[in-house]
Amino acid sequence: MLDHILSILIFFPALAAMLGFVVTKDSARAYGITVAAIEFALSLWLWHAYDPMTSGMQFMESAPLIPAFGVSYLLGIDGISLFIIILSTFFTLIGIASLTETRRIKDLVITLLFLEMTMVGVFAALDAIVFYVFWELSLVPMLYIIGAWGGPLRIYASIKFFLYTFTGSLVMLVGILFMAYFYSLATGMWSFSILEWYRLLLPFAKETGEIWWLGNYQIWLFLAFFIGFAIKVPMFPFHTWLPYAHGQAPTIGSVILAAILLKMGTYAFVRFSLPLFPDASVYFMFPIAVIAIIMIIYTAMVAYAQEDIKQVVAYSSISHMGVIILGIFALNVEGVSGSVFLMIAHGVVSGGLFLLVGVIYDRRHTKLMSEFGGLASVMPRYATIFGIMMMASVGLPLTINFVGEFLSLLGFYKQSHMFTLLAGTAIIVGAIYMLTAYKKAFFGTVTNEANKNLKDINATELMGLIPLVIVAIWLGVYPKPVLGPISNSVEGVIQLMHDKAQSSEAKARIPNLAHADELNSIQEAH
C-alpha cells in the first residue's frame, strides 16, 4: 500500500466526495468527519513511514500520461512537502468537525473533500503539468465556498480571488512551457519532470557582457514563475484580493485559505524558483526582501487600524507571510528551513485564530470589536484559548511561530543586518496590534447587553481548537520532529543551488554544504 500511498491520499477524498452525493443531508457532516479522519490517519502513517535522514524524494510514483511531450504522472515527497500535506489533512478534519453552517451542508462537505484532493495533489506532484492542474483545480472549490456561503459581497470577493490567482497562473504556465522547451533543446526530448529540470543549466549572462534582458533566460523564467507564486502568497502589491476573500468567506473558507492555500505560493518558491533559477534568485534577493519588508510593516500598520477583528487576523496573515518570503530568499539552510517551518506554524496559528473569530461571530453575528468588550469575564475558556493563539501569533518564545520567525530572520541576517533589523519590527508591531485588539474585545467591563448572556465555548468547538493549542505549544517547545526532516531536505536544495550557480555572486551568497557530514546529495537521492 505504501507504494501508492500518495495516490491514495490524493484521490481518496475525491472518491469519497463523489459518493457523498448519495449521503443524506443529516449524515453529511458525520460522513465528512469520517472521511477526513481516515485521510488524516493516512497522512500520519506517511509520516511514520518517512525516512527523516534522507534529503531526497520518497514514495515516488510514476506513470506516463502524454509520452510524446514528456508529461507523466510523477509523485513524491520530501521533508518540505510532507508536513504541509499533513497540515492539509489536519485542517480539513478540523474544519469539517467545526462546521456550524446549516445551509446546504452536504454540498459544503463535498466541496471541502474535493478541495482536499487538490491541496494534497499540489504538494505531492513532481511533474509541472500535473502540479499546474491541481494548482488550478484548487481555485474552483474555494471560488464556490466564498460565492455560495460568503457574506454580502461574496460574489465580488470570489470573482476577484479567481481573476487575480488565475491570471498569475497563466503567466506561470508560460514559464512551465518554456522550461520544457529549453529542456528539449538541451537534451533532445521533452520533459515536465521537476527532477529532470533540476539538472538543467539555464544561461545566466550577467557577468559575460551579454545584454541581460535578451540573454538571461533565468531572469525571464524566474519572473514568470514569480508572478504566479507572488499572487498566490499574496505578496505586495498583489495582496488586495486577500482581505476581501477573508472578509466575505465563511469561517471554514478563511481557515483553509489562510492555513493551506496561501502556502502553495511559498512552497512553490522553494520547489521551483530556488533550485531551478539559483542565479536569478540571488539577483532578485534584495528587491524581493524589500517587498517582504513592506508586507511585514505596511500590512501590520493596516491591521492596527482595523475595527473588524477578522480583518485584523487577515492583515496579520499577510504580514507573517512576509517573514516567510524573507526566510526563503535568505538562500541558506537556516532561513529556508525556518520559512518552511513557519509555513506550518502560520497555518496552525492563523487557522486557529480564524476559527476563534468564527466562534464569536456565530454568537453575535458581528466582527466589530466595538461590539464586544469584557468577553473574558463572560467567556473565560474562549478568552484563554484566544490569548494563547494570539501570543503564538506574535512569536512568544516557546510557541510555534517563534521558532520559524527566529530561524527565518537568522537566515537573512547572514545576508543583510539592516534588512533583518527592519523585518524584526514585525514582532514589535505584531504585538502592538494583536494586544490592542485583544484588549478591545476581551478586557474592561461588559457594556453591551447582548454580550452578558453569551455562552462560553462548547465541547464541539473545543474539539477543533484544543488540538491546535497543543500543536502550537508542542512544536514551540520541541520542534525537532518537524524541523529535522525539513532541514535535511532543505540542505539538499541549497547544495543543488550552489552546484548550479554560475555567477560568482551566487556562489558567494549560496553556501556550499558538500562537506557537511549530514548531507545526502539531492542528485544522488533522485
Residue 206 pLDDT level (bands cut at 50, 70, 90)? low
Query: pLDDT (tens digit, 9 = 90+) per residue, 21-71?
Result: 888 888 888 999 999 999 999 999 999 999 888 878 899 999 998 888 889
Q: Is there a contact between 282 and 222 (Cβ–Cβ < 8 Å)? A: no
Which amino acid, 254?
S
Distance between CA atoms of 192 and 495, rounded to whole angstroms? 22
Q: Is there a contact between 218 and 279 (Cβ–Cβ < 8 Å)? A: yes
DSSP 51: -
More confident residue, 370 or 337: 337
The three-state secondary structure class of 59 is strand
What share of the chain has pLDDT > 70, as a percent?
Answer: 95
Residue 157 pLDDT level (bands cut at 50, 70, 90)? confident
118: exposed, middle or buried (C-beta count within 10 Å: 0-12, 13-18, 19+)? Answer: buried
Nearest Cα neighbor of 52 from 514, 490, 408, 471 is 490
How many beta carbons lie within 10 A of that of residue 453, not counting itself?
9
The three-state secondary structure class of 131 is helix
**Is pLDDT at 522 greater than 50 in this prediction?**
no
Residue 503 pLDDT level (bands cut at 50, 70, 90)? confident
pLDDT of residue 525: 39
Residue 519 pLDDT level (bands cut at 50, 70, 90)? very low
Distance between CA atoms of 357 and 162, rounded to whole angstroms? 24
Residue 324 pLDDT level (bands cut at 50, 70, 90)? very high
Distance between CA atoms of 191 and 69, rounded to whole angstroms? 7
Residue 254 pLDDT level (bands cut at 50, 70, 90)? confident
The three-state secondary structure class of 504 is helix
pTM reported for the whole predicted model:
0.90
Distance between CA atoms of 66 and 189, rounded to whole angstroms? 13
Nearest Cα neighbor of 280 from 206, 362, 214 is 206
Nearest Cα neighbor of 114 from 97, 96, 128, 87 is 96
How many beta carbons lie within 10 A of that of residue 170, not counting itself?
12
Residue 114 pLDDT level (bands cut at 50, 70, 90)? very high
| Residue 214 host element (H or E) | helix 212-215
pLDDT of residue 490: 92
Which amino acid, 164?
Y
Residue 215 pLDDT level (bands cut at 50, 70, 90)? low
**Is pLDDT at 289 greater than 90 in this prediction?**
yes
Query: pLDDT (tens digit, 9 = 90+) per residue, 371-422?
Result: 888 888 888 999 999 999 999 998 889 999 999 999 999 999 988 888 888 8
pLDDT of residue 187: 86
Which amino acid, 458?
N
Distance between CA atoms of 77 and 457, rounded to whole angstroms? 38
pLDDT of residue 266: 93
Contacts of 476 (CB under 8 A, 6+ apart): 392, 397, 398, 399, 400, 401, 402, 403
Nearest Cα neighbor of 80 from 350, 327, 281 is 327
pLDDT of residue 310: 87
Q: What is the rounded average pLDDT for all residues in the chain?
A: 87
459: exposed, middle or buried (C-beta count within 10 Å: 0-12, 13-18, 19+)? Answer: exposed
Nearest Cα neighbor of 258 from 314, 214, 306 is 314
The secondary structure of 453-468 as a DSSP string is TPPPP-HHHHHHHHHH
pLDDT of residue 220: 87
Residue 526 pLDDT level (bands cut at 50, 70, 90)? very low
